[in-house]
Amino acid sequence: MRSFLIFWSLFALLIDQTSKFLIKKIPDQGIFFVKTEDWTIGWQKHLNTDLALSLGSNIPIINFGLIIISLGLLIGLIVKYKTKNKIVIPLLIILGSALSNLLDRLILGGVLDFAVLSRDNLHFPIFNISDILIVGSFAYLLIFKRKSL
């Protein structure tokens, strides 16, 4: 059972790191599938040194402290709900994704983002696979499991 649960964190970490490994091979100017007057959709490498949603401090030790506190709280929730798979699996996916981003910060000095999406003057922040996994897992918990929490 424990290895089944660990799988979800490793899955999130490996799929995110694999996507970032592959994206490092694209040209610096990016690859755009759609680039019109109205839409821009594609991949472009961007090293994000901010925290989630461009929050954070200019002092790296404060950012690192916030990351460690967040990981501690997440691990606490995983321990609390370890027997409830429908709650703990999304938490483990969030953990693996967060660890992948932490690994980027330690190796690259920031998180490698690459997915570009914009419509007219509305520019969505550049994101990566771990961002999708974190937001999707969190949305699942909010929408489907908030009564269990």
Residue ranges making up the domain that contains 86: 2-144
Contact criterion met (CB below 8 Å) for 33 and 42: yes
Residue 149 CA to residue 87 CA, distance in Å, equals 8
Catalytic residue among 16, 28, 104, 113: 113
pTM of the model: 0.84
Position 6 in a domain: yes
**Known catalytic residue: 50?**
no
Please indicate whether residue 131 is annotated as part of the active site. yes
Within a domain: residue 102?
yes
User: What end-to-end distance do the CA atoms of the chain give, in Å?
Assistant: 22
149 part of a folded domain: no
Flag whether 121 is in a domain: yes
Residue 33 lies in a domain: yes
In this structure, is residue 123 part of a structural domain? yes
Task: Specify burial of residue 53 (Cβ count, 10 A radius: 0-12, 13-18, 19+).
Answer: exposed
pLDDT (tens digit, 9 = 90+) per residue, 34-87? 988 889 999 999 998 877 655 565 666 777 788 888 889 998 988 888 888 788
Does 116 reside within a domain? yes
- What's the domain count of the chain? 1
